[in-house]
Amino acid sequence: MTAKLTAERPLVLVGAGNMGGAMLEGWLASGIEPELIVVVDPAADRTVHPFDTPGLTVMDKAPQTPAGVIFIAVKPYLVADVLPTMKSAHDERTMLVSIAAGVPIVKLQAIGPGPVVRAMPNTPASIGEGATVAVADGTSEGERALADTLLSAIGKTWWLTEEPLLDAVTGVSGSGPAYVFHMVEALTAAGIAEGLPADLAAGIARQTVVGAGALLGRSPLEPGTLRENVTSKGGTTAAALGVLQDSGALTELMTEAVKAAAARSREFGS
């Protein structure tokens, strides 16, 4: 049986910055009743969307009664300070879900006994296109189903059994949108360097990535096959890929980037 949120034991979101705000928007858009959500963030501007949503409760500090779920969405370095302040909203029935990069389950358990889920989403969650990977400890079938429902409300969710692999996940999907956005910046700059007006270069670079992503999402073909379908032998795309693939240049660069992000995630955990 799936665990449920109630007005008496709501979902408490701690931290409503970029990622927490994205999660909140995703939940509201998916149909979760705002009366079942409490936001704890003293910096939240209650006059702007989504914090002005009728029925949503926004607080400066923790509720004084146990929550059904406490969702930690603060920066990793703040978790150790935030957890003690949330004890009034936690009991052994409260499921703690954290999306703080690198903070291991053993440190999250400092709040007290109870089920814990550690997850790594990314910012496309705000439009329902997030990629989230999670690992659970001490959860019942119903509690894990509830966590899956919350995480899947903002995109696709995968589950792991080995917590250390979340560091690699952070490097691939958690930080991944930034790599794509930077690629658009680089593609824009390259277009300008070839003489295109800046606004045109920016527009076509953005739409090219948007369109390619949509095609990738809808097509049953593998990325390599889609790439080959664009590439005529001896043509312009082949010339460009020759540069990107020279001695594995792009793959090597991306491998180093993901390695650096995963290493930083491990540092947070230590």
Torsions phi, psi of 14, nearest 5? -105, 105
The CA distance from 177 to 179, in Å, is 5
pLDDT score at 103: 92
Structure-block tokens of residue 142: 């119903």
Check: CATH 3.30.1180.20 for 11-166?
Answer: no
Please list the residues that pair with 133 across neighbouring strands.
120, 158
How many CA within 13 A on the CB side of residue 140? 12
Q: CA 249: distance to chain centroid?
A: 28
pTM: 0.86
- In tens, the pLDDT along 232-263 reads 999 999 999 999 998 788 999 999 999 999 99
Which residue, 227, 41, 220, 19, is CA-closest to 124?
Answer: 19
Domains 11-166 and 176-269 belong to one CATH topology: no
- In tens, the pLDDT along 137-196 reads 999 999 999 999 899 888 999 999 999 999 999 999 999 999 999 999 999 999 999 999
pLDDT surpasses 90 at 22: no
Domain boundaries defined on the chain:
11-166, 176-269
Q: Is the dihedral of CA 119, 122, 128, 131 positive or negative?
A: negative
Q: CA 243: distance to chain centroid?
A: 32
pLDDT score at 270: 74
- b or e along 154-169 (b: 16 or more beta carbons within 10 Å of the residue's beta carbon)? bbebeebeeeeebbbb
Q: Any idea what DSSP says for residue 171?
A: I
CATH level 3 topology of 176-269: ProC C-terminal domain-like fold (1.10.3730)
pLDDT surpasses 60 at 1: no
- Beta-strand pair 57-59/116-120: unpaired
pLDDT score at 176: 96
Report the percentage of the chain scoring pLDDT > 90.
Answer: 81
